[in-house]
Amino acid sequence: MLSLSIRRSVRGGLGGVWVRGPLPGGGAVLAPNHHSWWDGYVLREVALACGQPFSVLMTGRQLARFPFLRRVGALRADEVRAGVRRARTGWLVIFPEGELHPAGPLRGVQPGAAWIARHAGVPLVPVALRVVLRGAQFPEGYVRVGPPVAAADLPGALAALLAELDADLLGSDPEAPLAGYLRLVPGRASRSDRVDWPSRLLAWLTGDRA
């Protein structure tokens, strides 16, 4: 029931989720920036679309506020042994900035994601993530995934990936699909994307069917 509620929330609140880059095919630690309330939900839906088990580390304060999220894969940030086990069998998301920050550049990288990836023996994957309002009625989720990196390279790789995603968005036509990104999770269509019956009838009556 909770899983279905999250899915409805993403597909009803966003215009969709688009992904670019090599998604891991098995156990991995995903290390994304954390600049939106939607981030965990978006990555969960991407994982499910890829047939991957999903878990996420959350701060104790946040998990205490939303304890029901344990039922859909959430762990407290200090539950590292459980995190290692989860990373061996699916995607474990760890936000290396440590907490939610305003949208912008990367705000530092803590060592937890790299530590768990090393002890689990799985890839450490940088992920850039933005939920933005472009030319449509509803915000859209964009995920850019980089190749696995060594622990020492994560800060630079994640910052570069985030800058690339921001450049992609800045250089795009806001009313056109973002080039190079695959729509992996459907979402809610904008009202402007739907042609209602009065509009179609008027076009038919006036002969303006272009």
What pLDDT, in 10s, does the model give residues 104-154? Answer: 788 889 999 999 999 999 999 999 999 999 999 999 999 999 999 999 999
Is the pLDDT score of 199 beyond 70?
no
In the three-class reduction of DSSP (H, G, I as helix; E, B as strand; rest coil), residue 29 is classed as strand
The pLDDT tens digits for 144-178 are 999 999 999 999 999 999 999 999 999 999 999 99
- How high is the pLDDT of residue 192? 66
Segment 84-98 shows an average pLDDT of 96
Sign of the Cα torsion 163, 166, 172, 177 reads positive
The pLDDT tens digits for 1-58 are 888 888 999 999 999 999 999 999 999 999 999 999 999 999 999 999 999 999 999 9
Total of domains in the chain? 1
Per the structure, the complete domain to which residue 180 belongs is given by 2-206
Is the pLDDT score of 80 beyond 90?
yes
Question: CB-based burial of residue 80 (10 Å sphere; 0-12 exposed, 13-18 middle, 19+ buried)?
Answer: middle
More confident site: 58 or 193: 58
Contacts (Cβ under 8 Å, ≥6 apart) of 200: none
